[in-house]
Structure formats: C-alpha cells, structure tokens
C-alpha cells in the first residue's frame, strides 16, 4: 500500500519511525503531515534506503545531481561523485545522465546511493529517438515504468506543461525562453506533433504507474526563469497554477508529490515566488534549484545559489538542489560536487536555525561550536565543520606557536578576555 494511504490509517512502519526520530518529531504528527501531502518520504517499494523526510517541520534537505553527458562519459567518475555527495551530506542524489548506456549507468550509480535516488525519465526517451517529435506517447510512459522497476525513488516529470501555459510562454518577453532540459524536450514534442503533453493529458495513467511502486513524483518546473530578466513573469505563474491542480490529483490518488521551483530570481522576488507556490499547492514540499540571485557569478554559482536557497528556505522552501561552480560552464568534477554540496548544506543549516520544528536542534550545533571556540578546542571545531579536512589544513598551514590561531596570535580576543576575568 502507498505511504500516503498507510499514513491516513495511522500505520507506523519502521521507515516512518526512523524519519520521525531523525527529524525530532512525534510519529503521529509526521503521519498526519504525510497524509496531508505536506511531507514526503521518497522510497520505491523495491529499494532499501536511508529514509529522508522532506517538507513542513522537517530539516531542510539537499539534493546533488550527477550524471554523464554526450560530451563526456566516465561512469566511474559519476559513481565517485555520488559517493562524495553523500559523504558531505547530500540527502538525495539524482542521475541526470544523457550519454552512454543510460540504464546501465543508472543501475551502477544507484548501487552506491543509500539515500533517495531520482531521475528524469524523459531524457532517456529523447535519447532513444533521433528526433524529439518521434518519441511515441507510449514511450513517455514506458521510460517511467522502467525507472520505477529499476528502483528509482523519485522522478522529475514536466506534467505542468500544457497548451494554455505554452501560449502564455509564447507571449512572454523572455530572453532565454526555456532552460529546463526536460521542459524543452516536452515543449519540442508538443510543437512538432501539435498535440497535448502526454504527461498532462494522461496524468491519471502516469499516477497509476507511480503508485504501483510508491514512487514520489517531482513536478518539474519547465518554465523556471533562466536569468534575472525572466523572473516572476506570467509564464512561470501560469505553471504554478497548473502544478497546484496536479498536486490535488496526486493526493487524491495516494501518490507522494514534490513541486519544483525557480531558477534565477532576484532577492526581492524570492519570497513572493515561494509563498505563491506554497499557496497554490496547499503547502506541498517545495524543491528549488538555488535560486540563483544573480546571472554574473560564473565559476561561483554555488555561492549565488546558496544565498538564494537561504532566503527561499526562510520563506518556506523545503528541498534545495545544489549548484556547483561549474553551473553554466561545463560538467562538474568530483571537487565541484563536493563544493556544491557543502555550500547548499550551509544554506540548509542556516534555514534550520530559524525553522519551526528544527530551530532548537540546529542551534544546539552552533552552541557546541561556540563552546569549542571558547575553549580553543581545535579538534572539536574541525569535527563540527562541513569539511573537517579543509578546516584542519587551513589551521595548520600557518600554525601558531600557542593554542590560538595565527590570525591574532597572543592577541587572541577570546584568550585575552578570559585571562583578564581570571
């Protein structure tokens, strides 16, 4: 039986109990939130994973994307990226591969992923055809079922694209139009075939497939803005409304659902955008790429994304898709993945410091770090850092003669004041 249906009946399985313990929530409260669709625990019935709850009152989660491209296929490197992402705190991993044997790559990466694992099935359907318009309507659903049978826990599916939202996009004055790869494939298919999006037209059938394996659907944001100029336009808000309608269908069907959101958004539009999405989806878990708060941070987009993620989290975002320094420039390296995860995890923790249900637990970590700094307990400070090895290396490269750091030396403010009081 699907998790939502179990939750409505008050069934307390071990999976839910583990999540409740990890989040510091009562099991009964977590079950009520799952039953309402305000929290999801992505899990395919065919796979055993470390449970992760995403949504209202839960700690802010981080996803890391890995995967090959047609230009660079190195499966072992992608496996290493998945391992590194989890080492530094990724709560979920998505395989976005487009080059090589996609099913074989997916299975190999999935073997090392112990947290929820996601994919975008339409990529595979597009890869199997020379021309996007040649994808059959059956193929739209065949790839979804294949991914579900392979054990995928959540899937991004761009079901919110329909003729109405597409007409709104045509009238927009966007610079970059559509930057979502899955959204572009879907729109291209519609225009080349002059037909409605199969995922939208046959949404109930799609949910039947997902429900059989209890796969969580992540409703893709095909019209997310790809630059600051395009943020907050009618096309994006039209998609919000459609996604809100689809969320209702998911809940009625008993399928767990996440909603995806913007891309590039200036600081002043992040809160209105998040609150609008939360409103039209009745507080469905919100999954954001960033958002990036500027277009000019090439090479440092992980920082621009972390800034946006922190602000979005304050407004109610639940799930952050990391951004690496390679965003807009090329396929990320293993080191890029590490930096992206750490930046996103810092943003997520900053959100949890003020988040209802998580504030007390998050602040306990900061308090522990404060005590370690007061005591000049360097080993404890290193262990509490997001990258213990790097923190230790920085401290040691100009190691002081005493128990203080080389920034202040004997003029260490903490040490001085403590000695004065003594």
Token pair, residue 273, equals 């955008």
Confidence (pLDDT) at 399: 80
Q: Are residues 131 and 253 in the same domain?
A: yes
Contact indicator for 320, 347 with CB cutoff of 8 Å: yes
Q: Are residues 342 and 397 in the same domain?
A: no
Contact indicator for 233, 174 with CB cutoff of 8 Å: yes
246-272 pLDDT, tens digit per residue, is 999 999 999 999 999 989 999 999 999
380 within a domain of the structure (yes/no): yes
Q: Are residues 353 and 381 in the same domain?
A: no
Token pair, residue 9, equals 């009946």
Report residues of the chain scoring pLDDT below 50: none
Q: Are residues 324 and 402 in the same domain?
A: no
**d(C-alpha 118, C-alpha 144), whole Å:** 12
15 within a domain of the structure (yes/no): no
Q: Are residues 324 and 404 in the same domain?
A: no
Contact indicator for 410, 418 with CB cutoff of 8 Å: no
Please report the beta strands in 216-343, taking only residues with DSSP state E, as ranges in sequence order.
216-219, 257-261, 286-289, 319-321
Q: Are residues 346 and 410 in the same domain?
A: no
Q: Are residues 92 and 238 in the same domain?
A: yes
Q: Per the structure, how many domains does the chain have? A: 2
Give the domain range for residue 416.
Answer: 375-421
**d(C-alpha 287, C-alpha 186), whole Å:** 20
CATH number at residue 82: 3.20.20.540
Give the global pTM: 0.96
- The last residue of one of the domains, among 313, 330, 357, is 357
| Backbone φ and ψ of 289, nearest 5° | -90, 95
83 within a domain of the structure (yes/no): yes
11 within a domain of the structure (yes/no): no
Q: Are residues 48 and 174 in the same domain?
A: yes
13 within a domain of the structure (yes/no): no
187 within a domain of the structure (yes/no): yes
211 within a domain of the structure (yes/no): yes
How far separated are the first and last CA of the chain, in Å rounded? Answer: 65
H or E element at residue 62: strand 61-66
70 within a domain of the structure (yes/no): yes
Confidence (pLDDT) at 421: 80
Confidence (pLDDT) at 418: 79
**d(C-alpha 170, C-alpha 358), whole Å:** 42
Q: Are residues 333 and 414 in the same domain?
A: no
129-164 pLDDT, tens digit per residue, is 889 999 999 999 999 999 999 999 999 999 999 999
Confidence (pLDDT) at 416: 82
Q: Are residues 163 and 52 in the same domain?
A: yes
Q: Are residues 94 and 199 in the same domain?
A: yes
Q: Are residues 272 and 343 in the same domain?
A: yes
Please report the beta strands in 225-343, taking only residues with DSSP state E, as ranges in sequence order.
257-261, 286-289, 319-321
- The last residue of one of the domains, among 357, 387, 408, is 357
């Amino acid at each position: 039986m699907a998790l939502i249906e179990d939750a409505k009946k008050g069934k307390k399985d071990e999976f839910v109990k583990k999540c409740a313990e990890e989040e510091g929530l009562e099991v009964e409260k977590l079950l009520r939130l799952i039953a309402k669709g305000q929290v999801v625990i992505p899990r395919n019935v065919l796979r055993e994973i470390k449970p992760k709850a995403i949504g209202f009152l839960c700690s802010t989660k981080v996803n890391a994307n890995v995967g090959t491209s047609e230009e660079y296929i190195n499966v072992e490197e992608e496996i290493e990226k998945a391992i590194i992402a989890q080492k530094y705190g990724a709560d979920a991993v998505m395989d976005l591969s487009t080059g090589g044997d996609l099913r074989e790559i997916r299975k190999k990466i999935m073997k090392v992923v112990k947290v929820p694992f996601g994919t975008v099935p339409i990529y595979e359907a597009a890869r199997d055809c020379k021309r996007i318009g040649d994808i059959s309507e059956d193929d739209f659903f065949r790839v979804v079922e294949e991914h579900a049978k392979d054990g995928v826990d959540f899937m991004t599916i761009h079901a919110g694209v329909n003729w109405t939202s597409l007409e709104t996009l045509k009238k927009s004055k966007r610079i970059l139009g559509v930057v979502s790869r899955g959204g572009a494939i879907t729109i291209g298919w519609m225009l080349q075939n002059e037909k409605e999006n199969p995922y939208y037209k046959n949404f109930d059938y799609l949910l039947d497939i997902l429900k059989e394996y209890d796969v969580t659907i992540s409703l893709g944001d095909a019209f997310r803005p790809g630059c600051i100029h395009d943020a907050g336009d009618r096309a994006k808000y039209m998609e919000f409304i459609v996604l809100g309608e689809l969320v209702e269908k998911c809940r009625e069907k008993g399928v767990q659902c996440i909603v995806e959101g913007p891309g590039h958004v200036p600081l002043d539009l992040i809160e209105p955008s998040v609150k609008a999405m939360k409103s039209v989806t009745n507080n469905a878990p919100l999954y954001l790429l960033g958002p990036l708060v500027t277009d000019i941070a090439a090479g440092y987009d992980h920082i621009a994304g972390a800034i946006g993620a922190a602000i979005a989290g304050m407004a109610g975002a639940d799930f952050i898709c990391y951004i690496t320094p390679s965003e807009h420039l090329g396929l990320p390296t293993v080191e890029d993945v590490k930096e992206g995860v750490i930046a996103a995890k810092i943003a997520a923790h900053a959100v949890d410091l003020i988040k209802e249900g998580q504030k007390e637990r998050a602040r306990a970590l900061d308090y522990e770090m404060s005590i370690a700094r007061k005591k000049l307990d360097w080993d404890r400070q290193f262990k509490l850092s997001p990258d213990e090895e790097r923190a230790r290396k920085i401290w040691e490269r100009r190691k002081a003669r005493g128990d203080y750091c080389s920034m202040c030396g004997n003029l260490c403010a903490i040490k001085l004041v403590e000695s004065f009081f003594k």
